[in-house]
Structure 1
Protein backbone atom coordinates (compact mmCIF):
# COMPACT_ATOMS: atom_id res chain seq x y z
CA UNK A 1 0.00 0.00 0.00
CA UNK A 2 2.12 2.88 -1.25
CA UNK A 3 5.83 3.47 -1.50
CA UNK A 4 8.35 3.24 1.32
CA UNK A 5 8.38 7.05 1.46
CA UNK A 6 4.61 7.14 2.17
CA UNK A 7 4.78 4.55 4.93
CA UNK A 8 5.13 7.24 7.61
CA UNK A 9 2.49 9.59 6.16
CA UNK A 10 -1.00 9.89 7.56
CA UNK A 11 -3.63 7.98 5.61
CA UNK A 12 -7.41 7.58 5.47
CA UNK A 13 -9.76 4.62 5.94
CA UNK A 14 -13.37 4.69 4.69
CA UNK A 15 -16.02 3.02 6.86
CA UNK A 16 -19.57 2.34 5.66
CA UNK A 17 -20.75 -0.39 8.09
CA UNK A 18 -19.48 -1.51 11.48
CA UNK A 19 -16.20 0.36 11.01
CA UNK A 20 -18.23 3.55 11.53
CA UNK A 21 -19.36 2.58 15.02
CA UNK A 22 -16.57 0.19 15.98
CA UNK A 23 -13.43 1.11 14.06
CA UNK A 24 -11.07 -0.77 16.40
CA UNK A 25 -8.05 1.39 15.53
CA UNK A 26 -6.74 4.76 16.68
CA UNK A 27 -7.42 7.76 14.45
CA UNK A 28 -6.62 11.47 14.66
CA UNK A 29 -9.65 12.81 12.78
CA UNK A 30 -12.87 11.67 11.15
CA UNK A 31 -15.39 13.22 8.80
CA UNK A 32 -18.47 12.32 6.82
CA UNK A 33 -17.45 11.34 3.32
CA UNK A 34 -18.92 9.99 0.10
CA UNK A 35 -17.62 7.33 -2.26
CA UNK A 36 -18.97 7.33 -5.79
CA UNK A 37 -19.19 4.17 -7.87
CA UNK A 38 -20.09 1.96 -4.88
CA UNK A 39 -23.09 1.60 -2.56
CA UNK A 40 -23.71 0.05 0.88
CA UNK A 41 -25.54 -3.28 0.53
CA UNK A 42 -26.46 -6.30 2.67
CA UNK A 43 -24.85 -8.54 0.08
CA UNK A 44 -22.41 -10.80 1.95
CA UNK A 45 -23.15 -14.14 3.58
CA UNK A 46 -21.35 -13.94 6.95
CA UNK A 47 -19.63 -17.20 7.90
CA UNK A 48 -17.58 -15.87 10.83
CA UNK A 49 -18.54 -12.55 12.43
CA UNK A 50 -22.38 -12.73 12.26
CA UNK A 51 -23.08 -16.28 11.13
CA UNK A 52 -21.55 -19.66 10.31
CA UNK A 53 -21.18 -21.61 7.07
CA UNK A 54 -24.12 -23.78 8.19
CA UNK A 55 -26.29 -20.80 9.24
CA UNK A 56 -24.94 -17.72 7.50
CA UNK A 57 -25.84 -14.21 8.54
CA UNK A 58 -25.90 -11.27 6.18
CA UNK A 59 -23.54 -8.31 6.45
CA UNK A 60 -22.76 -5.16 4.55
CA UNK A 61 -20.47 -4.87 1.61
CA UNK A 62 -19.46 -1.94 -0.54
CA UNK A 63 -20.88 -3.12 -3.88
CA UNK A 64 -20.34 -1.47 -7.23
CA UNK A 65 -22.73 1.15 -8.56
CA UNK A 66 -24.26 4.25 -7.04
CA UNK A 67 -22.72 6.12 -4.12
CA UNK A 68 -22.28 5.66 -0.40
CA UNK A 69 -22.01 8.07 2.48
CA UNK A 70 -19.91 6.91 5.40
CA UNK A 71 -17.07 8.04 7.64
CA UNK A 72 -13.46 8.64 6.64
CA UNK A 73 -10.94 8.17 9.44
CA UNK A 74 -7.53 9.86 9.33
CA UNK A 75 -4.86 7.60 10.82
CA UNK A 76 -1.42 8.82 11.89
CA UNK A 77 1.38 7.51 9.74
CA UNK A 78 3.12 5.94 12.74
CA UNK A 79 0.01 3.73 13.15
CA UNK A 80 -0.09 2.68 9.49
CA UNK A 81 1.35 -0.84 9.80
CA UNK A 82 -0.62 -1.74 12.93
CA UNK A 83 -3.88 -0.34 11.52
CA UNK A 84 -3.57 -2.13 8.19
CA UNK A 85 -2.63 -5.38 9.94
CA UNK A 86 -5.70 -5.05 12.18
CA UNK A 87 -8.01 -4.23 9.25
CA UNK A 88 -6.74 -7.16 7.21
CA UNK A 89 -7.28 -9.55 10.12
CA UNK A 90 -10.80 -8.19 10.59
CA UNK A 91 -11.96 -7.67 7.01
CA UNK A 92 -10.07 -10.30 5.03
CA UNK A 93 -10.76 -13.31 7.29
CA UNK A 94 -12.57 -15.16 4.45
CA UNK A 95 -11.30 -13.00 1.54
CA UNK A 96 -14.82 -11.85 0.59
CA UNK A 97 -13.57 -8.24 0.60
CA UNK A 98 -10.97 -6.69 -1.66
CA UNK A 99 -8.69 -4.03 -0.23
CA UNK A 100 -8.80 -0.97 -2.50
CA UNK A 101 -7.85 2.67 -2.45
CA UNK A 102 -10.85 4.80 -3.39
CA UNK A 103 -11.33 8.52 -3.81
CA UNK A 104 -13.61 9.97 -1.14
CA UNK A 105 -15.22 13.41 -1.10
CA UNK A 106 -15.97 15.57 1.92
CA UNK A 107 -18.88 17.99 2.39
CA UNK A 108 -16.54 20.97 1.92
CA UNK A 109 -15.69 19.70 -1.57
CA UNK A 110 -12.23 18.42 -0.66
CA UNK A 111 -11.20 14.85 -1.17
CA UNK A 112 -8.60 12.24 -0.34
CA UNK A 113 -7.76 8.68 -1.25
CA UNK A 114 -8.86 6.19 1.40
CA UNK A 115 -8.36 2.52 2.10
CA UNK A 116 -11.69 0.71 1.72
CA UNK A 117 -12.94 -2.85 1.65
CA UNK A 118 -15.24 -3.64 -1.27
CA UNK A 119 -17.06 -6.89 -1.94
CA UNK A 120 -15.51 -9.46 -4.27
CA UNK A 121 -18.45 -10.36 -6.52
CA UNK A 122 -16.71 -13.59 -7.57
CA UNK A 123 -16.45 -14.90 -3.99
CA UNK A 124 -18.81 -17.69 -2.90
CA UNK A 125 -20.01 -15.52 0.03
CA UNK A 126 -21.29 -12.82 -2.31
CA UNK A 127 -25.07 -12.94 -1.93
CA UNK A 128 -25.92 -10.23 -4.43
CA UNK A 129 -29.35 -8.67 -4.16
CA UNK A 130 -31.56 -11.13 -2.28
CA UNK A 131 -35.34 -10.92 -1.93
CA UNK A 132 -36.18 -9.00 1.23
CA UNK A 133 -37.87 -11.97 2.91
CA UNK A 134 -34.67 -13.99 2.52
CA UNK A 135 -32.57 -11.09 3.84
CA UNK A 136 -34.75 -10.81 6.95
CA UNK A 137 -34.62 -14.57 7.56
CA UNK A 138 -30.82 -14.72 7.28
CA UNK A 139 -30.32 -11.70 9.52
CA UNK A 140 -32.84 -12.89 12.13
CA UNK A 141 -31.14 -16.31 12.39
CA UNK A 142 -27.49 -15.23 12.08
CA UNK A 143 -25.13 -15.53 15.06
CA UNK A 144 -21.34 -15.57 14.80
CA UNK A 145 -18.14 -14.84 16.70
CA UNK A 146 -19.01 -11.13 17.09
CA UNK A 147 -22.61 -11.68 18.15
CA UNK A 148 -26.03 -11.81 16.62
CA UNK A 149 -26.77 -10.46 13.17
CA UNK A 150 -29.81 -8.32 14.11
CA UNK A 151 -27.68 -6.33 16.60
CA UNK A 152 -25.11 -5.62 13.86
CA UNK A 153 -27.78 -4.36 11.47
CA UNK A 154 -29.52 -2.25 14.14
CA UNK A 155 -26.23 -0.78 15.44
CA UNK A 156 -25.21 0.22 11.93
CA UNK A 157 -28.61 1.75 11.19
CA UNK A 158 -28.73 3.65 14.51
CA UNK A 159 -25.23 4.98 13.93
CA UNK A 160 -26.21 6.15 10.45
CA UNK A 161 -29.17 8.02 11.93
CA UNK A 162 -26.94 9.73 14.53
CA UNK A 163 -24.74 10.90 11.65
CA UNK A 164 -27.83 12.07 9.70
CA UNK A 165 -27.11 9.50 6.97
CA UNK A 166 -30.28 8.11 5.43
CA UNK A 167 -30.22 4.59 3.97
CA UNK A 168 -33.73 3.60 2.84
CA UNK A 169 -32.90 -0.09 2.32
CA UNK A 170 -31.37 -0.48 5.78
CA UNK A 171 -34.30 1.43 7.33
CA UNK A 172 -36.77 -1.01 5.76
CA UNK A 173 -34.76 -4.04 6.89
CA UNK A 174 -34.67 -2.75 10.49
CA UNK A 175 -38.41 -1.98 10.39
CA UNK A 176 -39.13 -5.52 9.20
CA UNK A 177 -36.75 -7.06 11.77
CA UNK A 178 -38.45 -5.09 14.55
CA UNK A 179 -41.86 -6.13 13.26
CA UNK A 180 -40.81 -9.79 13.09
CA UNK A 181 -39.35 -9.73 16.61
CA UNK A 182 -42.55 -8.16 17.98
CA UNK A 183 -44.59 -10.97 16.42
CA UNK A 184 -42.18 -13.58 17.82
CA UNK A 185 -42.14 -12.15 21.37
CA UNK A 186 -44.21 -14.14 23.87
CA UNK A 187 -47.46 -12.47 24.87
CA UNK A 188 -47.85 -11.47 28.52
CA UNK A 189 -50.92 -13.24 29.78
CA UNK A 190 -52.30 -12.00 33.05
Structure 2
Protein backbone atom coordinates (compact mmCIF):
# COMPACT_ATOMS: atom_id res chain seq x y z
CA UNK A 1 0.00 0.00 0.00
CA UNK A 2 1.39 3.39 -1.03
CA UNK A 3 1.60 6.22 1.49
CA UNK A 4 -0.78 9.06 0.65
CA UNK A 5 1.24 11.77 2.40
CA UNK A 6 3.77 12.38 -0.36
CA UNK A 7 6.73 14.73 -0.58
CA UNK A 8 4.85 16.72 -3.23
CA UNK A 9 2.04 17.42 -0.76
CA UNK A 10 4.53 18.48 1.90
CA UNK A 11 6.21 20.79 -0.60
CA UNK A 12 2.92 22.66 -1.17
CA UNK A 13 3.25 24.31 2.23
CA UNK A 14 6.97 24.08 2.86
CA UNK A 15 8.08 27.30 4.51
CA UNK A 16 11.22 28.54 6.21
CA UNK A 17 10.67 29.43 9.86
CA UNK A 18 13.36 31.16 11.84
CA UNK A 19 14.29 29.86 15.28
CA UNK A 20 13.55 32.59 17.81
CA UNK A 21 15.03 30.55 20.66
CA UNK A 22 13.37 29.62 23.94
CA UNK A 23 10.27 31.61 24.82
CA UNK A 24 10.74 34.41 27.37
CA UNK A 25 10.36 33.07 30.89
CA UNK A 26 10.67 29.39 30.00
CA UNK A 27 13.20 27.46 32.07
CA UNK A 28 15.67 25.29 30.19
CA UNK A 29 17.54 22.26 31.51
CA UNK A 30 21.20 23.05 32.14
CA UNK A 31 24.32 20.86 32.19
CA UNK A 32 23.87 20.02 35.86
CA UNK A 33 20.27 18.96 35.25
CA UNK A 34 21.30 16.65 32.42
CA UNK A 35 24.07 15.12 34.53
CA UNK A 36 21.62 14.46 37.36
CA UNK A 37 19.08 12.79 35.05
CA UNK A 38 21.81 10.67 33.44
CA UNK A 39 23.13 9.66 36.88
CA UNK A 40 19.65 8.57 37.96
CA UNK A 41 19.17 6.46 34.85
CA UNK A 42 22.56 4.81 35.28
CA UNK A 43 21.91 4.17 38.97
CA UNK A 44 18.72 2.33 37.99
CA UNK A 45 20.43 0.51 35.12
CA UNK A 46 19.72 -3.23 35.02
CA UNK A 47 22.66 -5.61 34.58
CA UNK A 48 23.95 -6.14 31.07
CA UNK A 49 23.39 -4.33 27.79
CA UNK A 50 21.84 -0.86 27.56
CA UNK A 51 18.94 -0.74 25.09
CA UNK A 52 16.92 2.25 23.91
CA UNK A 53 13.32 1.84 22.69
CA UNK A 54 12.61 3.83 19.52
CA UNK A 55 9.07 4.58 18.34
CA UNK A 56 9.23 8.00 16.65
CA UNK A 57 12.03 10.19 15.34
CA UNK A 58 14.71 7.98 16.88
CA UNK A 59 13.82 5.54 14.10
CA UNK A 60 15.59 7.79 11.58
CA UNK A 61 17.86 9.85 13.82
CA UNK A 62 19.09 7.86 16.82
CA UNK A 63 21.90 10.39 17.61
CA UNK A 64 24.20 7.63 18.90
CA UNK A 65 26.05 4.63 17.49
CA UNK A 66 23.86 1.53 17.25
CA UNK A 67 25.50 -1.84 17.74
CA UNK A 68 22.33 -3.86 17.15
CA UNK A 69 18.69 -3.24 16.26
CA UNK A 70 15.73 -5.51 17.01
CA UNK A 71 11.98 -5.16 16.64
CA UNK A 72 10.26 -5.01 20.01
CA UNK A 73 6.81 -4.90 21.61
CA UNK A 74 6.00 -2.66 24.57
CA UNK A 75 2.87 -3.35 26.63
CA UNK A 76 1.19 -0.78 28.87
CA UNK A 77 2.09 2.22 26.70
CA UNK A 78 0.97 3.43 23.29
CA UNK A 79 2.42 5.84 20.74
CA UNK A 80 0.37 9.06 20.53
CA UNK A 81 0.77 12.71 19.57
CA UNK A 82 0.70 13.73 23.21
CA UNK A 83 3.27 16.55 23.44
CA UNK A 84 2.71 20.18 22.50
CA UNK A 85 5.55 21.99 20.76
CA UNK A 86 5.87 25.75 20.39
CA UNK A 87 9.37 25.40 18.99
CA UNK A 88 11.18 22.88 16.71
CA UNK A 89 8.11 21.68 14.75
CA UNK A 90 5.70 24.34 15.94
CA UNK A 91 5.58 27.97 16.99
CA UNK A 92 3.87 29.89 19.78
CA UNK A 93 1.40 31.19 17.17
CA UNK A 94 0.71 27.73 15.73
CA UNK A 95 1.67 24.92 18.16
CA UNK A 96 2.59 21.50 16.84
CA UNK A 97 2.35 17.98 18.26
CA UNK A 98 5.04 15.36 18.82
CA UNK A 99 4.82 11.66 19.55
CA UNK A 100 5.42 10.29 23.03
CA UNK A 101 4.44 7.14 24.87
CA UNK A 102 1.19 7.56 26.77
CA UNK A 103 -0.23 5.07 29.26
CA UNK A 104 -2.37 2.18 28.12
CA UNK A 105 -2.40 -0.18 25.16
CA UNK A 106 0.76 -1.34 23.43
CA UNK A 107 3.38 -0.12 20.99
CA UNK A 108 5.55 -1.84 18.41
CA UNK A 109 8.92 -0.27 17.69
CA UNK A 110 12.59 -1.22 17.82
CA UNK A 111 15.29 -1.42 20.45
CA UNK A 112 18.83 -0.19 19.82
CA UNK A 113 21.82 -1.63 21.64
CA UNK A 114 24.30 1.04 22.71
CA UNK A 115 28.01 0.11 22.63
CA UNK A 116 29.25 -0.30 26.20
CA UNK A 117 32.14 2.10 25.70
CA UNK A 118 29.70 4.86 24.65
CA UNK A 119 26.90 4.43 27.20
CA UNK A 120 27.35 7.64 29.22
CA UNK A 121 28.00 9.87 26.21
CA UNK A 122 25.15 8.31 24.23
CA UNK A 123 22.66 8.80 27.05
CA UNK A 124 23.81 12.40 27.42
CA UNK A 125 23.22 13.07 23.69
CA UNK A 126 19.86 11.34 23.90
CA UNK A 127 18.70 13.41 26.85
CA UNK A 128 19.75 16.68 25.23
CA UNK A 129 17.95 15.73 22.03
CA UNK A 130 14.67 14.68 23.65
CA UNK A 131 14.36 17.13 26.55
CA UNK A 132 14.68 20.89 26.73
CA UNK A 133 12.23 22.55 29.09
CA UNK A 134 12.51 22.36 32.86
CA UNK A 135 10.43 20.63 34.09
CA UNK A 136 10.30 18.29 31.09
CA UNK A 137 7.14 16.53 29.95
CA UNK A 138 8.96 13.97 27.79
CA UNK A 139 10.76 11.99 30.48
CA UNK A 140 13.10 8.97 30.32
CA UNK A 141 12.53 5.79 32.28
CA UNK A 142 13.37 2.10 32.15
CA UNK A 143 10.62 -0.01 30.61
CA UNK A 144 10.24 -3.73 29.84
CA UNK A 145 9.90 -4.82 26.22
CA UNK A 146 9.59 -8.18 24.50
CA UNK A 147 12.04 -8.78 21.65
CA UNK A 148 13.07 -11.92 19.77
CA UNK A 149 11.60 -14.17 22.43
CA UNK A 150 13.12 -12.52 25.48
CA UNK A 151 12.33 -9.73 27.91
CA UNK A 152 14.62 -6.71 27.84
CA UNK A 153 14.87 -3.54 29.89
CA UNK A 154 15.27 -0.41 27.81
CA UNK A 155 15.27 3.36 28.14
CA UNK A 156 12.19 5.01 26.68
CA UNK A 157 10.72 8.51 26.73
CA UNK A 158 7.18 8.70 28.09
CA UNK A 159 4.70 11.53 28.52
CA UNK A 160 4.24 12.94 32.01
CA UNK A 161 0.51 13.64 32.15
CA UNK A 162 1.15 16.35 34.74
CA UNK A 163 3.79 18.04 32.60
CA UNK A 164 3.24 21.49 31.05
CA UNK A 165 3.57 20.18 27.48
CA UNK A 166 1.15 17.25 27.84
CA UNK A 167 -1.59 17.23 25.20
CA UNK A 168 -4.77 15.45 26.18
CA UNK A 169 -6.55 13.43 23.51
CA UNK A 170 -7.98 15.68 20.79
CA UNK A 171 -10.72 15.05 18.22
CA UNK A 172 -9.36 13.68 14.96
CA UNK A 173 -10.34 16.90 13.16
CA UNK A 174 -8.10 18.98 15.44
CA UNK A 175 -5.18 16.55 15.34
CA UNK A 176 -5.27 16.38 11.53
CA UNK A 177 -5.33 20.17 11.15
CA UNK A 178 -2.47 20.65 13.62
CA UNK A 179 -0.31 18.00 11.96
CA UNK A 180 -1.10 19.45 8.53
CA UNK A 181 -0.22 23.07 9.27
CA UNK A 182 2.21 23.29 12.23
CA UNK A 183 5.89 23.78 11.45
CA UNK A 184 9.01 25.13 13.09
CA UNK A 185 12.66 25.71 12.30
CA UNK A 186 13.51 21.98 12.04
CA UNK A 187 10.52 21.08 9.85
CA UNK A 188 6.80 20.39 9.84
CA UNK A 189 4.64 18.03 11.84
CA UNK A 190 3.40 16.53 8.57
CA UNK A 191 6.99 15.66 7.63
CA UNK A 192 7.51 14.14 11.10
CA UNK A 193 4.38 12.01 10.65
CA UNK A 194 5.44 10.89 7.17
CA UNK A 195 8.96 9.95 8.25
CA UNK A 196 7.67 7.95 11.21
CA UNK A 197 5.19 6.00 9.10
CA UNK A 198 7.82 5.25 6.44
CA UNK A 199 10.39 4.12 9.00
CA UNK A 200 7.87 1.81 10.66
CA UNK A 201 6.77 0.42 7.31
CA UNK A 202 10.40 -0.22 6.35
CA UNK A 203 10.57 -2.48 9.40
CA UNK A 204 7.23 -4.15 8.52
CA UNK A 205 5.49 -2.43 11.43
CA UNK A 206 2.03 -1.11 10.57
CA UNK A 207 0.71 1.43 13.07
CA UNK A 208 -2.94 1.65 12.04
CA UNK A 209 -3.53 4.93 13.89
CA UNK A 210 -0.60 6.69 12.22
CA UNK A 211 -1.50 5.16 8.85
CA UNK A 212 -5.02 6.56 9.17
CA UNK A 213 -3.67 9.96 10.26
CA UNK A 214 -1.26 10.27 7.36
CA UNK A 215 -4.10 9.57 4.91
CA UNK A 216 -6.28 12.25 6.53
CA UNK A 217 -3.43 14.78 6.59
CA UNK A 218 -2.84 14.07 2.90
CA UNK A 219 -6.51 14.77 2.09
CA UNK A 220 -6.44 17.95 4.18
CA UNK A 221 -3.29 19.30 2.49
CA UNK A 222 -4.61 18.42 -0.98
CA UNK A 223 -7.78 20.43 -0.26
CA UNK A 224 -5.94 23.65 0.60
CA UNK A 225 -5.32 26.50 -1.82
CA UNK A 226 -1.63 27.32 -1.79
CA UNK A 227 -2.41 31.00 -2.48
CA UNK A 228 -4.90 31.35 0.37
CA UNK A 229 -4.12 32.47 3.90
CA UNK A 230 -3.80 29.55 6.29
CA UNK A 231 -6.78 29.13 8.63
CA UNK A 232 -6.27 30.24 12.24
CA UNK A 233 -5.09 27.52 14.66
CA UNK A 234 -7.94 25.24 15.70
CA UNK A 235 -6.40 24.86 19.19
CA UNK A 236 -4.54 27.48 21.20
CA UNK A 237 -2.37 26.94 24.26
CA UNK A 238 -1.48 29.69 26.69
CA UNK A 239 2.16 28.78 27.45
CA UNK A 240 5.36 27.80 25.66
CA UNK A 241 6.12 24.08 25.38
CA UNK A 242 9.41 22.49 24.43
CA UNK A 243 8.86 18.90 25.53
Is TM (by shorter chain) over 0.5? yes
Which TM-score applies when normalising by structure 2?
0.71
Of residues 151, 156, 175, the one that matches 1:135 is 175
Query: What's the CA shift for 1:186?
Result: 5.5
After superposing on structure 2, the runs of 4+ consecutive aligned residues of structure 1 that deviate more than 3 Å are 6-10
Rounded to whole Å, the distance in 1 between the matches of 2:42 and 2:60 is 27
Query: What's the CA shift for 1:53?
Result: 2.8
Contact 1:7-1:77 within 8 A present in 2 as well: no
Contact 2:177-2:220 within 8 A present in 1 as well: no
Which TM-score applies when normalising by structure 1?
0.90
Query: What's the CA shift for 1:138?
Result: 1.2
Of residues 49, 56, 74, the one that matches 1:17 is 56
Of residues 71, 89, 94, the one that matches 1:50 is 89
| Residues 1-150 of structure 1 aligned to structure 2 (within 5 Å) | 1-3=41-43, 10-94=49-133, 95-106=136-147, 108-150=148-190
Post-superposition Cα deviations, 1:9-32, rounded to whole Å, max 9, x if no partner, equal 641000111111211211100000
Query: What's the CA shift for 1:48?
Result: 2.4
**Match of 2:107, SS?**
strand
Rounded to whole Å, the distance in 1 between the matches of 2:46 and 2:144 is 19
Query: What's the CA shift for 1:144?
Result: 1.8
What are the ranges of 5 or more consecutive residues in structure 2 without an aligned counterpart? 1-40, 228-243
Residue matched to 1:174: 214
Query: What's the CA shift for 1:176?
Result: 0.8
What are the ranges of 5 or more consecutive residues in structure 1 without an aligned counterpart? none
**Match of 1:166, SS?**
coil
Query: What's the CA shift for 1:82?
Result: 1.1
Residue matched to 1:158: 198
Rounded to whole Å, the distance in 2 between the matches of 1:138 and 1:55 is 8
Is 91-100 or 114-123 further displaced after alignment? 91-100
Aligned residue-pair number: 185
More strand by share: 1
Query: What's the CA shift for 1:166?
Result: 1.4
Note the aligned Cα RMSD (angstroms). Answer: 2.1
Q: 1:7 to 1:172 in 2, by over 3 A?
A: closer
Is 158-167 or 113-122 further displaced after alignment? 158-167
